Amino acid sequence: KKKKKMAAGWKQAFGTVFRYASSLSNGGKNVSGKTFRLSPRFFGIVAATGLGTGFALSTISAEDLELHPPHYPWSHNGVFSALDHKSIRRGYLVYKEVCSACHSMNFIAFRSLVGVSHTEDEAKALAEEYEYPADPDEEGNPTTRPGKLSDYFPEPYPNEEAARFANSGALPPDLSLVCLARHGEEDYIFSILTGYTDPPAGTEELAEGMAYNPYFPGGVLAMPQQLFQDSVEYDDGTPATVSQMAKDVSVFLRWAAEPGHDERKRMGMKVIMILSTVTLVVYYWKRQAWNEGHHDFINRHLSCLLLEETSLE
């Protein structure tokens, strides 16, 4: 019934607008020749339908409510600021020791770490810690080999079904591009990792294996809190607090999503310097050329005036 009433209201409103538009082209008279005037009822119908539509579009449920991550002062947010490569190194350790148990990074190879956070020998040693499928032996049996720099980070599960079974039916997302795939980017990742709390009073009891995080859409997710004090041990002596680990892995995931971040800004600096130089040269040339041309024009104009005065005399 409500839908029928709303449809009837819309129909009446559009009909009134149509008749009014027709009257404008007929000198204020409608199709039947009678003078058309807008009544207060028309404005009431338009206002009511507009308010009703706005209310219907803005109606949300409690499940849609979520906190938006705050904007943190990342050191790489500046126009010419590079990523903190020491933080990238620490962030990889957090990923390796904590996140890699459930999350894959299918688009990142060990060679990508060379020159960014690790030396070539360190990256080779990291790759050799894992076993990868190799060619079968003479009898056709499968074999394995140590990892190489060209290998990508290993998968935590053999297939999607195993991943869902181990995570209460949820599929852990690949983290290679997650920083760019989430609204808020590294702010979102940091907020998720540090935002676990008890569910608010009055909400339904969480199912087994579920956790509450107000920064996650819906507030309930299948990943419990993963970072705790001293979960990892940094080789540079940095204290492994929860916020420090969350910050480091956020920077690492930012780099993983955009490995050319620093090169892009470096190239931007070069382009700005070149364009600035070219602009100054062109401006100087324009001023010189204009001044010379302007003086020539004035001289020619004065010469013409003198010739005219001479001819008149």
Q: Which residues contact residue 13 at a Cβ distance below 8 angstroms, ignoring those fewer than 6 apart?
A: 42, 45, 46, 49
Please tell me the pTM assigned to this model. 0.70
Question: Nearest 5°: CA angle at 32, between 27 and 38?
Answer: 60
DSSP state of 154: P
Tens place of pLDDT per residue across the chain (313 aa): 545 555 565 656 556 555 654 554 444 444 454 544 545 555 555 566 666 655 555 444 444 556 889 999 999 988 888 999 999 999 999 999 999 999 999 999 999 999 999 999 999 999 999 999 998 888 888 899 999 999 999 999 999 999 999 888 889 999 999 999 998 899 999 999 999 998 888 777 888 888 999 999 888 888 999 999 999 999 999 999 999 999 999 999 999 999 998 888 888 888 999 999 999 888 888 777 666 655 666 666 666 666 666 665 5
Question: Given the structure tokens 């382009």, which residue do they identify?
Answer: 271
Contact 213, 219 (CB under 8 A): yes
